[in-house]
Structure 1
């Protein structure tokens, strides 16, 4: 029987398609800026948002997005204070997110069961309203990358010179970090709070092994993410596995594959050079 006959799998595949575009698209920029842990910090802030939503009776995905954007703004303020120690700002916000989340969860009685699906992802609980929110969160991210591609590229590789040329670096940083927060919030329903940063980083790490340019890295990152999500959802459906963990294991397998290919390429080039010499 086709998995598409199940409504929850239709929702899961659509959610996976959306997340496999926006996660590596944002992840490529933060990885090259050596801010890979940014997604981890924002995901922990999302935990506080999910807990607040469950306590208040609002959509946890919506409150997670709101908390994540607020945390992103706070993080950018701290990065300005600790300009040469960006990892310190990330560590502070990660700790704050975990602390607030733990306190809010301790107030709620019986919330732990509901929180589990947000921590590790759950394909059977993705609703049409979740899909609409994911799409709502995704569009601004893609629009920012599309319309400010050159500026973001410049800032990614040379932020100081970008400032000197008059680019509104601070504004673009705030906008990008806030939209990265929305990316994290959009993906937590699929892969979970604890694993969302992996979906943003692992496909990028795979693409960096094979790509010859920035644009190729972007295309390949999205391609690797799509394959990982599709394979992960299929395996999780047929073998009754946790979807988030299965998707990430597929992404890790692809990374190992690209490392092997890169190693063989380097070995072949070395052998050719040796023979020519």
Structure 2
């Protein structure tokens, strides 16, 4: 198996897939802790459905570079979702559900009514659950992912203290002079970029797993925000790399996105067991 993996690593598309997968997993995990603590765990799910709807519109309109529609629409939706606080008439979880279901339904409707493909069901399934597109990345797409990932990581590190304060207590942060709305906007933009990048890796329906599972796994063992974030990032990177490798080296091949999520689930149960044992020992 090791020899087989070494042989596969000679191909550029395998190296590209590993680079992009690891970067996307890293970026997803950084804000996963923040979203879980802010009770916005399903925002990734909602935004991924919005991205699916935007992708359907781009396909119907015949736009080859669908990123021109998907990215701005997803960013605007992320801003709207994160601004639905406790004073909003529609609470955050309800807003996520409305936008998620609405975008998914409209996207599927458009793809059926204005179909330009002979296999609409296959196209929809591929978009929702991921495809082999992660294994057919061009060098340009890899560089775009690297640049956007570097920006996301730099923004998180640079605004780490502010993100920490906004995550735990917005009212206290506002009282100390922190511009909460500005940092919520930064969080929203970062999340939207991550969602758009992750669609090629795991598909629209599985994006939430990249955000939620590493954070929840780390929370079972660690307690401080910094340690949970670091552990979450390490776990996410390891799970993504393992998932891609397993998908490639298995004889019949497995879906990349589903395999990564399956590895995340196994790791979560391992960390849950570790946390359970530690609590019993105490």
Residues 225 and 33 (structure 1), Cα distance of their counterparts in 2 relative to 1, 3 Å cut: same
Of 18, 26, 30, 1:21 maps to 26
In 2, the alpha carbon distance for the partners of 1:133 and 1:32 equals 30
Of 119, 122, 128, 1:119 maps to 128
Alignment gaps of 5+ in structure 1? 270-277
Match of 2:261 in 1: 248
1:226-260 Cα deviation digits (max 9, x unpaired): 11111111111122001100000000000000011
Alpha-carbon RMSD across the aligned residues, in angstroms, is 2.0
Greater helix content: 1
1:172-226 Cα deviation digits (max 9, x unpaired): 1122112201111111111111101101110111111111321111111011111
SS in structure 2 at match of 1:212 = coil
Alignment gaps of 5+ in structure 2? none
Q: Which moved more, 1:64-73 or 1:212-221?
A: 64-73
CA contact under 8 A between 2:29 and 2:211: conserved in structure 1?
Answer: yes
Match of 2:236 in 1: 225
Match of 2:224 in 1: 213
Match of 2:49 in 1: 44
Match of 2:106 in 1: 100
In 2, the alpha carbon distance for the partners of 1:242 and 1:87 equals 30
1:58 Cα offset (Å): 2.4
1:41-100 Cα deviation digits (max 9, x unpaired): 111001012223333232334532222112113324544761782212222221332133
In 2, the alpha carbon distance for the partners of 1:175 and 1:216 equals 22
The structure whose RCO (Cα within 8 Å, separation 6+) is larger is 2
Matched, 1:73 2:86: no
Q: Normalized against structure 2, the TM-score is what?
A: 0.88
Match of 1:144 in 2: 155
CA contact under 8 A between 1:3 and 1:9: conserved in structure 2?
Answer: yes
SS in structure 2 at match of 1:218 = helix
1:147-192 Cα deviation digits (max 9, x unpaired): 1111110110001111222211112112211220111111111111
Q: Which moved more, 1:7-16 or 1:59-68?
A: 59-68
In 1, the alpha carbon distance for the partners of 2:144 and 2:124 equals 18
